[in-house]
Amino acid sequence: MLKKIMTGALALTLGMSLLGCGTSENKQAELPKVPKAEAAQPAAADYLRSYALVMDGLYDYAVNGQDDKLVNEGMNVIREMVEIYQRDSASMIGYTLKDFNGDGVPELVLGRAEQHKGAGYYGSDIYSVYTLVDGKPLRSFEGWQSNRLQVLSGSRLFLQATDGDAYSVLAAYKIAPTGEPECLDYYFTAPQNGGLAYYHNTSGSNDRNASKRLNMTEDAFEELRNEYMNDVTMLELIPVENYHKQGAKGLAYQHLKLDWLQDAQADVQQYGMVKVPNASEFVKVVLRSDKSLSNFKVLSLTLLSVDEEGNAHFDAQPVYRQDMLMADTPLVMQLADTEAVPANAIAFDDELGRERRFAVSISGMDGSLQLSEI
């Protein structure tokens, strides 16, 4: 699990450990050895078929306890989860598809399905990321026991790693079209004269001689950590136990994008426009989806109750309806002022025929727009 503390020797090579291929004493299925220098090629529409080498073995391991098909690469934390939680791990480990490098070929992401909202499961902690290179899966990233890996806005990956009080890492990465990780920023600490020294580079290395020493305090380092954490985004995940009956169908959250109208730099004249009752002049947003949305509706919400787990329950009344909101066809919505409680939501039917409802709210931290399934 992520709670374990690494040894000092491992902490000194955190960046390389994350990106390297960690081996296991058990000889399990190996990923194909594909040239990392070759750019990813377009895959078939059913990308999950190409990732079957990873998913088939993971399903057998988490559901049936059979590890003969489990690939070695990227399964360290997952092995520990299955050992601890056994069959229950099949509902705790989730998978999803997300295009991190913008090449049109989505990556396969394995992570912790922590929250169940509406019809969806969500999480922010990532265990492994696989990309397709030459049509075959390649392990690109892996979170280890003390390396917490999460997704940031802009399809970046955020790494936090620590070994006691002396060594800490905060790093941001992206995935290149080759499938290889590319370091954007790498901050780390090291003991210095009874205290801590702070360093930065863009190579992902803990080499102090190859890094710039920063005039930074412990408070500033924690503030940097908080800035990253405030930018962490949730992923919609499918529990591994649903792999054979669901495949990649039903994922909705990753296809949606919501922007303030002024940020979208949109020409309102060219877009459809919805104005709800009691709309605010200051809440004009643009909704986009890269997948067509069937039975699309805009809802007016009235809060009914909040249960013991903090889940809000609403009365939802449709104020706008459209048989199909076509992919990549933006819709401008002028909504009611959200304040602390969402006043509006969108709804549509996913590929499994389930109605999905997402409330529109405004972050109290930075004023950004958020979609939350209800």
Look-up: residue for tokens 């919501």? 258
Higher-pLDDT residue of 256, 338: 256
Rounded to the nearest 5°, which phi and psi values hold at 44?
-65, 165
Q: Which residues of 118-135 are buried (b: 16+ CB within 10 A; e: fewer)?
A: bebbbbbbbbbbbbbbee
pLDDT tens-digit profile of 237-259? 999 999 999 999 999 999 999 99
What is the reported pTM? 0.85
Q: What is the pLDDT of residues 313-332, one digit of tens each?
A: 999 999 999 999 999 899 99
The answer, yes or no, to whether residue 68 has pLDDT greater than 60, is yes
Does residue 85 surpass a pLDDT of 70?
A: yes
pLDDT tens digits, residue range 194-213? 899 999 999 999 999 999 99
pLDDT band at 35 (very low <50, low <70, confident <90, very high): low
pLDDT attached to residue 311? 84
The pLDDT of residue 194: 87
* Start-to-end C-alpha separation, the chain: 29
Q: Give the confidence band of 42 by pLDDT, cuts at 50, 70, 90.
A: very low
**Is the model's pLDDT at 103 over the cut of 80?**
yes
Nearest by Cα to 112 from 72, 77, 137, 161 = 77
Residue-averaged pLDDT of the chain: 87
Q: What is the pLDDT of residue 146?
A: 76
Phi and psi at 292, nearest 5°, equal -60, 140
Half-sphere exposure of 127 (CA within 13 A, CB side): 25
The predicted structure's pLDDT at residue 27: 53
Please state the rounded mean pLDDT for residues 54-63: 97
